[in-house]
A and B are shown apart, each in its own frame.
Chain A
C-alpha cells in the first residue's frame, strides 16, 4: 500500500517539476527569496520590483539579443538555507542560469558555496549568482568566488559612508551601537568601532551590545540603557520587526538624538514609525529617491506606482541589477555562456538612473556606487513609502563610496573553454 502512495506521489512530483522545464527561449532569472513565512513581505516586495524591472526596462523595450525576453521566476526559500539549495537545484533543472537572492546573508553563504561547487562539478550547467541585498562583507572577501556578484554595498562600505557623516557632525560626542546577535550585527559593530576610532578619535562608544535576533518581545530595557548612557546618536544594523521595535522603543523612552540605521524604511516600517520618527531616523542607502535621481527614474517610479499603488521601490539596486545584467548579455552576445557574461560584468561601468556611475570591481565583484544618507520625514517627499506621506529624503551623498576599500578576495577564474 505504501509503495502505491509513494509511486503516485512521486509521479505527481515529476509531472509538476517537469512541466515547467520545457521552454528555454527567453532568459530566465530565478528569484530565490522568502515568499512565505515571517520575512515574506520583504521577499514579495523584492519579487514585484524584479518583475517590474524586467517588464519595464527590458521586455517593453524590445528585449535583449534580438528580442529575447526576460522572465523572473519566483522560488520560495522560506528563508531557509536548506530550502534554498533545493530550489536552486529545481531552478538549474529548469534551465535557469541566473540566480538572484538577497534576504539573509546566511542563505547567501549557502547559495554561493553551493553554486561554486555546482559549477565546478557540472561545467555544462553553470549558473551566476547576482546578490542584490546580502551585505555580509565575507561574501566579497574570504568567501568570494567568480560566480558571485554583489549589487548592494556591503556592510563595511555602508559603515564607512555612515561614519564619514557622523565624523562631520561635531555635536556627536557619544555613540551607542546596538545590533542583532549574529554575523551581520557583529560586523556592523566591529566596523563602527574601528572606523569611528580612526575618523573621530574623540568620539566615545558609550555602549556596544547585541541582542538575540527575532526573539526580543519588548525593547524597553535596551532603550533605557541607551537613554541612561547619555549617547548623542545610535547606530544599528537591525532589520524587520527588530528594527521597528528597537526604534519605537528608543524614541518612546526619551532618547532625543539621531538614530542611524541600515534598514529602517519600507515594508510597513515607514508607516509604523510615522510622525514619531520624523527627522530622527536616518538611513544609509544607495539610490536617490527624494529628490529622485533622474527623469527616467521618475517615470519608472510612477509606472511602478500605477501597477502597485501600495508598493515601494525601496531597493532601487534591483533595477541596477537587471540593467547591468542585460548590458553584459548584450556585450557578451550570449545569455547561455555565463562565463562570458560574468567576464563582461567584471569591471563594467554603468550609469544608473538612480544617480551616479556604478563600477563592478573585478577583484572582488563588489559594486562600487554612490551612497546616500537619508532622513525619515514628510517634508519634500515626492515618493513616499507605505502610502504614509512619509519617506526618505537625501541629506548627504558620498560619491563612489569606498572605491578603494581593501579586499582579501583571491578571485579564481575558470579556464576559458
Chain B
C-alpha cells in the first residue's frame, strides 16, 4: 500500500486500512471462488439472442444502435476488469480504446496489406495496439492503486487527448482518420457493405471477448486481482506481488478496450478526438457504475441502459442528459451496487421460493412511484418549455399529449399525478419493506 493511501485513510480512524474499492465483502462473496467450470446456459442464451435480435428489430437504425451497444458492452466489461475486479479507478481509459481504433483505421488505409486481410481479424490489431499502450503506461501507473493510479490515469488521458490535435500524422487532427471497411478481403463472400453484416461481426466479437474476459476473471491472476483489490497487504504476505497482479489486469483490460476500439473503427469507419477525450472516459465510468461493478454482467446492463438513454431518449427530449445525471446520482446514493446489484438482491428471495410474496407489494409501491416520477418528469419538461420556448409557441407535447403550456390545467394535472403517485408510493413503502423482510427471511428464522 502506498504511503498516500495510508495518509488518506488515517484521519478517518474509524475504518480499517483499505484500498479504494467497491464494497469488497459483497463482491468477493458473490463470485463463487475457485471453480473453473463455466455455467454454459447463460452464454448459449446470449448467443442465440444475439443471432435472433436483427430479425426482431429490422430497422437499420436499430441495428446501428445495437452495434453501438455491443461495442460499449465490450468496452465497459474491459473497464470493469480494472474498476470492479481490480479496484483501480481510471479516468482515462478511453485512450486505450481510442488508440486501438486509430491503429485499426491506419491498417484499413494501408491498402496493400488490408486487401489481403479478412475484416473480422481487424479488431485483433486494435487489441494489440491498446495492449501495447497499456504495457507502457501500466509499467509505472500500476505501482500503486488508489488515488495515485487514478490521477496518473487522468493525466495520461488528458495528455493523449491533447496530442490528438497536435500529432496530426497519427490522430488526423480534428477531422480524425477515416477509411473504408469494404476494401478488406471478402470474408466468405461477405464484403460488409450493410450494417447487418457488421452486426454479426460485432456480435461474434462480443461473445468471444465477453467469454475471454469471464475466463480471465476465473484464472488465478483474475482471482488474485480481487484479493489485491480487497487487501493488498495480505496478498503480498501470501507471496503475490500486488503490483504485478495489477499490471496483468491492466494490460488485459487495455487489450479488450483496444478490441472495442477496433470494432468502433469497423462500424463507423471514422475515429476522431472524441474517442480519446476525458468525456468518453467519464462516460465509460458512468456506464460501468450504473450497471454495477460487483458483478460480471453489471457493465452489460449499464451499457444497454446508457446507450438507450443517449440515442433514444435524446430523440425525445433535450433534457436527456439531465435525466441521466439524476438517474446516475440516485444510483450512487441509493443503490451503490448498480442495476445489477438491484437485480441480484432478489436471488435470495428466489432461492427461498418467496418471490410471490413480493409481487403485490411491488405493484402497490413501484407502479404509483413510476407514475409519480413520470408526472414529475412531465413537470420538469413543462417548466423547461415555459422558460425557454418561443413566445407564442405555447404548444408542447408530453407523453403523446399535446397541450398549451401556458394554461393552468396541465400544471394541475401533472402536479396531481406526481403528488398522488408519489404519495401512494410513500404510504405503501412500509408494507413493501415488511414484505421484503418477510421474503428474505428463511421460514422459521428468528429474524
When the two chains form their complex, are residues A106 and B45 in contact, meaning their CB atoms are under 8 A apart?
no
Chain A residues in 8 Å Cβ range of B318: 35-36, 40, 44, 76
User: When the two chains form the complex, which single residue of B42, B176, B195, B310 contacts A110, counting CB atoms closer than 8 Å?
Assistant: B176
When the two chains form their complex, are residues B390 and A81 in contact, meaning their CB atoms are under 8 A apart?
no
When the two chains form their complex, are residues B274 and A308 in contact, meaning their CB atoms are under 8 A apart?
no
Chain A residues in 8 Å Cβ range of B311: 83, 86-87, 90
Taking A9-B304, A81-B270, A306-B392 as contacts, is the C-beta distance between A86 and B65 under 8 angstroms? yes
Chain A residues in 8 Å Cβ range of B391: 306-309
CB nearest neighbor in B for A2: B297
Taking A18-B59, A121-B193 as contacts, is the C-beta distance between A307 and B301 under 8 angstroms? no
Taking A3-B46, A17-B61, A92-B61 as contacts, is the C-beta distance between A110 and B178 under 8 angstroms? yes
Stretch at the interface among B19-27, B49-57, B149-157: B49-57
Q: Does A16 contact B (CB under 8 A)?
A: yes
When the two chains form their complex, are residues A3 and B175 in contact, meaning their CB atoms are under 8 A apart?
no
Q: Which of B33-54 contact A (CB under 8 A)?
A: 42, 45-46, 49, 53
- A85–chain B nearest beta-carbon distance, Å: 5
When the two chains form their complex, are residues A75 and B64 in contact, meaning their CB atoms are under 8 A apart?
no
A181 and B391 CA atoms in complex are apart in Å by 39
One digit per residue, 1 when the CB lies within 8 angstroms of any chain A CB and 0 when it does not, for chain B 59-95 equals: 1111011101000000000000000000000000000
Q: Does B321 contact A (CB under 8 A)?
A: yes
User: When the two chains form the complex, which single residue of A37, A40, A113 contacts B270, counting CB atoms closer than 8 Å?
Assistant: A113
Chain A residues in 8 Å Cβ range of B393: 307
Q: Does B343 contact A (CB under 8 A)?
A: yes
When the two chains form their complex, are residues A181 and B166 in contact, meaning their CB atoms are under 8 A apart?
yes
When the two chains form their complex, are residues A105 and B175 in contact, meaning their CB atoms are under 8 A apart?
yes
When the two chains form their complex, are residues A2 and B390 in contact, meaning their CB atoms are under 8 A apart?
no
User: When the two chains form the complex, which single residue of A17, A121, A136, A215 contacts B62, counting CB atoms closer than 8 Å?
Assistant: A17
When the two chains form their complex, are residues B300 and A2 in contact, meaning their CB atoms are under 8 A apart?
yes
When the two chains form their complex, are residues A6 and B304 in contact, meaning their CB atoms are under 8 A apart?
yes
Q: Does A117 contact B (CB under 8 A)?
A: yes
User: When the two chains form the complex, which single residue of B57, B173, B300 contacts A183, counting CB atoms closer than 8 Å?
Assistant: B173
Chain A residues in 8 Å Cβ range of B53: 10
- A219–chain B nearest beta-carbon distance, Å: 18
When the two chains form their complex, are residues B66 and A17 in contact, meaning their CB atoms are under 8 A apart?
no
User: When the two chains form the complex, which single residue of A83, A109, A181 contacts B310, counting CB atoms closer than 8 Å?
Assistant: A83
When the two chains form their complex, are residues B59 and A213 in contact, meaning their CB atoms are under 8 A apart?
no
Determine the main DSSP class of A at the interface with B.
helix
- A80–chain B nearest beta-carbon distance, Å: 5
Q: Does A14 contact B (CB under 8 A)?
A: yes
Taking A3-B49, A113-B178 as contacts, is the C-beta distance between A85 and B59 under 8 angstroms? no
When the two chains form their complex, are residues B315 and A10 in contact, meaning their CB atoms are under 8 A apart?
no
One digit per residue, 1 when the CB lies within 8 angstroms of any chain B CB and 0 when it does not, for chain A 89-125 equals: 1101100000000000110011001100100010000
When the two chains form their complex, are residues B390 and A48 in contact, meaning their CB atoms are under 8 A apart?
yes
When the two chains form their complex, are residues A14 and B173 in contact, meaning their CB atoms are under 8 A apart?
no
When the two chains form their complex, are residues B269 and A113 in contact, meaning their CB atoms are under 8 A apart?
yes
A166 and B208 CA atoms in complex are apart in Å by 62
Chain A residues in 8 Å Cβ range of B339: 5
- B375–chain A nearest beta-carbon distance, Å: 19
User: When the two chains form the complex, which single residue of B42, B65, B173 contacts A13, counting CB atoms closer than 8 Å?
Assistant: B65
Chain B residues in 8 Å Cβ range of A21: 59
When the two chains form their complex, are residues A81 and B64 in contact, meaning their CB atoms are under 8 A apart?
no
When the two chains form their complex, are residues B59 and A14 in contact, meaning their CB atoms are under 8 A apart?
yes
- B355–chain A nearest beta-carbon distance, Å: 12
User: When the two chains form the complex, which single residue of A1, A20, A215, A308 contacts B390, counting CB atoms closer than 8 Å?
Assistant: A308
A124 and B117 CA atoms in complex are apart in Å by 30
When the two chains form their complex, are residues B180 and A183 in contact, meaning their CB atoms are under 8 A apart?
no
Chain A residues in 8 Å Cβ range of B272: 81-82, 106, 110
Q: Does B320 contact A (CB under 8 A)?
A: yes
When the two chains form their complex, are residues A182 and B274 in contact, meaning their CB atoms are under 8 A apart?
no
Chain B residues in 8 Å Cβ range of A137: none
When the two chains form their complex, are residues A89 and B64 in contact, meaning their CB atoms are under 8 A apart?
yes
Q: Does A212 contact B (CB under 8 A)?
A: yes
Q: Does B308 contact A (CB under 8 A)?
A: yes
Q: Does A216 contact B (CB under 8 A)?
A: no
Taking A6-B49, A48-B390 as contacts, is the C-beta distance between A117 and B301 under 8 angstroms? no
Q: Does A258 contact B (CB under 8 A)?
A: no
- A99–chain B nearest beta-carbon distance, Å: 14
When the two chains form their complex, are residues B270 and A86 in contact, meaning their CB atoms are under 8 A apart?
no
A109 and B174 CA atoms in complex are apart in Å by 10
When the two chains form their complex, are residues B314 and A36 in contact, meaning their CB atoms are under 8 A apart?
yes
One digit per residue, 1 when the CB lies within 8 angstroms of any chain B CB and 0 when it does not, for chain A 1-32 equals: 11101110111111011101100000000000
CB nearest neighbor in B for A106: B174
- A340–chain B nearest beta-carbon distance, Å: 24
When the two chains form their complex, are residues A86 and B59 in contact, meaning their CB atoms are under 8 A apart?
no
A391 and B49 CA atoms in complex are apart in Å by 59
When the two chains form their complex, are residues A106 and B268 in contact, meaning their CB atoms are under 8 A apart?
no
When the two chains form their complex, are residues B178 and A109 in contact, meaning their CB atoms are under 8 A apart?
yes
Additional A-B contacts beyond A10-B53, A82-B275 (12; CB < 8 A): A14-B56, A48-B390, A82-B272, A86-B68, A89-B60, A89-B195, A93-B60, A106-B176, A106-B273, A138-B175, A183-B174, A306-B391
Q: Which residues of A contact B (CB under 8 A)?
A: 1-3, 5-7, 9-14, 16-18, 20-21, 35-37, 40, 44, 48, 75-76, 78, 80-83, 85-87, 89-90, 92-93, 105-106, 109-110, 113-114, 117, 121, 136, 138, 181-184, 212-213, 215, 306-309, 311
3 A-B pairs with least C-beta separation: A182-B174, A90-B61, A93-B61
Can you identify 28 A-B contacts, CB atoms within 8 angstroms?
A: A3-B45, A3-B49, A7-B49, A13-B312, A14-B62, A16-B315, A17-B315, A21-B59, A76-B320, A81-B270, A82-B268, A82-B275, A85-B64, A90-B61, A90-B64, A92-B60, A92-B61, A93-B60, A106-B174, A109-B175, A110-B272, A114-B270, A183-B173, A183-B174, A213-B174, A307-B391, A308-B390, A309-B391
